[in-house]
Amino acid sequence: MDPAIAQLVDISGSDAAMRAHADMVLERARWASQVFQRYDRDQTLKIAQAVAKVAFAKAGDYAQWAVKETGFGVAEHKKLKNELSSTPLVEFYEDRDFVNPRLDERTGIVEVPKPAGVIFALVPSTNPIATVYFKTLCALMTRNAVVMCPHPAARECCVDAALTLARAAEEAGAPEAVIQVVERPTIPLINEFMGSEKTDVILATGGTAMVRAAYSSSNPAIGVGPGNAPVLVDETADIAAAARHIADSKAFDNSVLCTNESVLITLESVAKTLKQELKKAGAHICSDDETKALRGYLFHERGFNVEAVGRDAVWIAEQAGFKVAKSVKVLVARIGLIGVGEDLSREKLCPVLAFYVASSVQQAVMQARSLLRFAGAGHSAAIHSTDMQTIMDYSAAVEAYRVVVNAPCSQGAAGFDTNLAPTFTIGTGFLGRSSIGENIGPQHLVNWTRIAWHKQSDHPASMLDIGALSHPGPLPKAPSDGVPGESRPKNAGGAARGKPADDLREQIRKIIVEELRAVLKD
């Protein structure tokens, strides 16, 4: 085509085109979500499992791709994260039912699940594939459609992963386009998606600006704020184990998880041993000069130097102007102040750990509290201690919604080394200017219609008393028919559309109900 004409016809930068693009993708998602709501629990789970299986198998490939494309993190750790966000995630929620009605036997209130519908999911560059996996599977488990929007720095791997999962979902019988991806995200286009009436909820993981934009979009959003986890090690802790956990956590994917420890707070009595143990665990304790150099390199006037995100310790030391042994995994920098005036007490998505020594447990707790009030409110904190009262005091004081005890915080707060819900979306709650304060999971993508009877009247006492939801499954393909003189036999279409099967199911249900009633009476 003539370039002048091509240019004229290309209106992709116009408001009209961007709106049309968002509309089309979201409407297609709406169709998929509406059809998906016809699926029963078995069909739904099978799809989630099948997609998880494909995701698991590709975890390593995508981990490498993500590291190559973004320069962030450690492929081997990303693989692990990706794996954890696939089959184990589905297994974790397998016995939760987001499809069938449920009864609160105490109140007689019956609850009917209503999936959100169309989810717009932002994907950060730091945990790209794990987030794509996680949000997709949460959507699938709850019969929602999802539109993935990758961070431009991780665009290619995310687009590919989303398309792979979309294919797997369709092969497993999911409605067409239940998973879509914005292949060329730009800020105005993303705003168009986020502000559209056709978006039901935004799952926002990413930089603060993006998360705030999601909340400002006028649509419901589940956004997460930045982290800045304190970790307290007291005298009662197993110091060697604590050091190992902290070093492992900081080294894990080079600290790109926002749950990584930011400032280690300890006591005079513990500091020396702790440092030795940290060294043993692969940390380098920086000299004052090195700390100064590190501070200068990591923090610019505009904030954290993104160049350092997810880089390894050796590389960072070198950029800052000093050398450390090849085996070093974590850089520990002693600080004398927490809060304004000490940049190193800000969030650091890299294996640099600030180290602060307090003079008492009480002071340490207050320092941890002030750290989160300074930055990272609502996010995560960790403690290594065996003193239950200290753990309680600490947890009550810190403005975090999860406190990880005697475990690595990166993996622990994200639910992989603890019994918290596994997630790549950490709800930072009211403290962190978010709507939800727990680890985000599929349950947050469903609302329930509550059916309530008059207080004085009888209400259903058991599941046998409530009606059934109809789950006719996939939409039948429309035939191309209508040759005159060959009109279909009456109700033939109906038969093909599984209505008798539905009737049959209904009859069987009734029989079972009757039998159960009889049994219960006896």
Q: Where do contacts with other proteins occur on this chain (CB under 8 A)?
A: 1-2, 4-6, 8-9, 11, 14, 16-17, 19-20, 24-25, 27-28, 30-32, 34-35, 176-177, 475-484, 486-488, 490-491, 493-494, 497
Q: Report the alpha-carbon distance of residue 497 to residue 185 in Å, rounded.
A: 40
- Burial class of residue 482, CB neighbours in 10 A (0-12, 13-18, 19+): exposed
- How many residues are given for the chain? 522
Least gap, CB of 495 to other proteins (angstroms)? 10
All residues at 6 or more sequence positions from 489 whose CB lies less than 8 Å from its CB, including other chains: none
Cβ proximity to other proteins, 35 vs 54, nearer residue: 35
Residue recorded with tokens 């199911």? 505
Spell 106-129 as b/e; 16+ CB within 10 A means b.
Answer: eebbbbebebbbbbbbbbbbbbbb
Distance from first CA to last CA of the chain, Å, rounded?
Answer: 81
Residue 221: name the closest of 239, 203, 194 by CA. 203
Q: Which residues of 273-301 are buried (b: 16+ CB within 10 A; e: fewer)?
A: bbbebbbebbbbbbeeebbebbbebbbee
Q: Does 286 qualify as catalytic in the annotation?
A: no
Rounded to a whole number of angstroms, the minimum distance from the CB of residue 498 to other proteins is: 10
Report the residue number, 209 or 483, with the smaller CB distance to other proteins.
483
Tokens of 265: 């707070």
Backbone angles phi, psi at 414, to 5 degrees: -85, 5
Q: Is the dihedral of CA 264, 268, 269, 273 positive or negative?
A: positive
Nearest to 291 by CA among 239, 247, 342, 329: 342
Cβ distance to other proteins smaller for residue 37 or 259: 37
φ/ψ of residue 197, rounded to 5: -65, -20
**Choice among 138, 149, 157, 258 that is catalytic:** 258
CB of 34 to other proteins, least distance (A): 5
Q: Which is nearer to other proteins, 24 or 325 (CB)?
A: 24
Nearer to other proteins, 188 or 494 (CB): 494
Closest to other proteins by CB, 4 or 520: 4
**CB-wise, 27 or 342, nearer to other proteins?**
27
Distance CA 184, CA 190 (A): 10
Q: Where are the alpha helices (DSSP H) in 176-238?
A: 187-195, 208-215
Min dist. Cβ of residue 129 to other proteins (A)? 23
What is the rounded CA–CA span in Å between residue 345 and residue 325? 25
Q: How far is the CB of 482 from other proteins (least distance, A)?
A: 3
Task: Using the minimum distance from each CB to other proteins, give the nearer residue, 20 or 75.
Answer: 20
Nearer to other proteins, 31 or 299 (CB): 31
Instruction: Give the shortest CB-254-to-other proteins separation in angstroms.
Output: 37
Shortest reach from residue 490's CB to other proteins, in Å: 5
Least distance from C-beta 493 to other proteins, angstroms?
4
Closest approach, Cβ 121 to other proteins, in A, equals 18
The DSSP secondary-structure symbol of 178 reads S
Q: Residue 319 is encoded by which pair of tokens?
A: 């950029």
Distance CA 73, CA 66 (A): 9
| 3-state per-residue secondary structure call for 181-192 | ECCCCCHHHHHH
Give the alpha-carbon dihedral of 216, 183, 80, 258, to 10 degrees: -20
Q: How many CA atoms lie within 13 A of 372 on its CB side?
A: 33
Active site residues: 258
